Every structure is written in C-alpha cells, then in structure tokens.
Amino acid sequence: MTTGSGQEQPITRDIVLDVSLARAKDTHRVQARRIRIPPGQAAGLHIHNGPVVGNIVNGSAVYQIDGEPETVLRPGDAFYEPEGARIARFDAQDAGVTFLAYFLLGPGQEPELSFPAS
C-alpha cells in the first residue's frame, strides 16, 4: 500500500478474536454466510449445532450468551458462539446489522439452528 507521499505502508495483522473451543472439533469445512437482520429485529433465543465465529460488517447488534453480560457489537467487532450455547440475544439495533458468520462443520454436517422454548 502506498501513501500520498509515495512511501510503502507495512501490512498489519491484528488479532481481533482468539478463542478456545470447548472441545476438539473434527472440522472438515467452514461455511461463511452474510447475514442481515433488519432494524430492531431480534434473532430470538437460539442454539447452534456447531461453533460459530463472526464479525460485524455494518450496523450493530446487542449480543448475549445466556447467563453472561450483554454487549453491543459494532462494525469490525468479532464474536464467538460456542456449540450448544444458548444465545439469549442477537438483536439488531436501529440501523439493522449485517455480519459474516463462519460455521465450523464436521463430516456431513450442515449448520442448524434451534429455538428452545426458554
């Protein structure tokens, strides 16, 4: 990358998320999805059948794993939804939210989402 003065800028690599999986995962593929939630819409209490790692592209969302404090995710923020964890909130705020989600999948596995009664 060159600046207006013609000088080369170094490539930077910043760690934005570094999590350990609760248990070893035999991962055969990763599926990436662009997900959009309209303004003010809540995803509802849900559980994934595998770990999900994601990052916010634009907008913002209130994010909370059941029993943990909520946080607001904004563009550039990364998040991790552990396999089997109860995701209490992933609620789009006023501008809605667009994020990329990466699903770690085992052999023959497809991403699944379940909505427990409470």
Strand 78-81 vs strand 113-114: parallel, antiparallel, or unpaired? unpaired
Q: Using the predicted structure, report yes or no on whether residue 25 has a pLDDT greater than 90.
A: no
- State the Cα–Cα distance between residues 115 and 97, nearest whole angstrom: 20
pLDDT in the model for residue 2:
60
Number of helices (H) and strands (E) in the chain: give both, helices first: 0, 7
Does pTM top 0.75 for this prediction? yes
Every domain of the chain and the residues it spans? 29-113
Measure the CA–CA gap between 34 and 59, rounded to whole angstroms.
13
* CATH class of the domain comprising 29-113: mainly beta
When pLDDT is averaged across residues 89-106 and rounded to a whole number, the result is 97
Please name the residues in contact with 13: beta carbons below 8 A apart, sequence gap of 6 or more: none
Interval 25-45 mean pLDDT: 96
Q: Is the pLDDT of residue 69 over 90?
A: yes
pLDDT of residue 29: 97
Q: Which residue's structure tokens are 């003065």?
A: 5
For residues 9-19, average pLDDT: 94
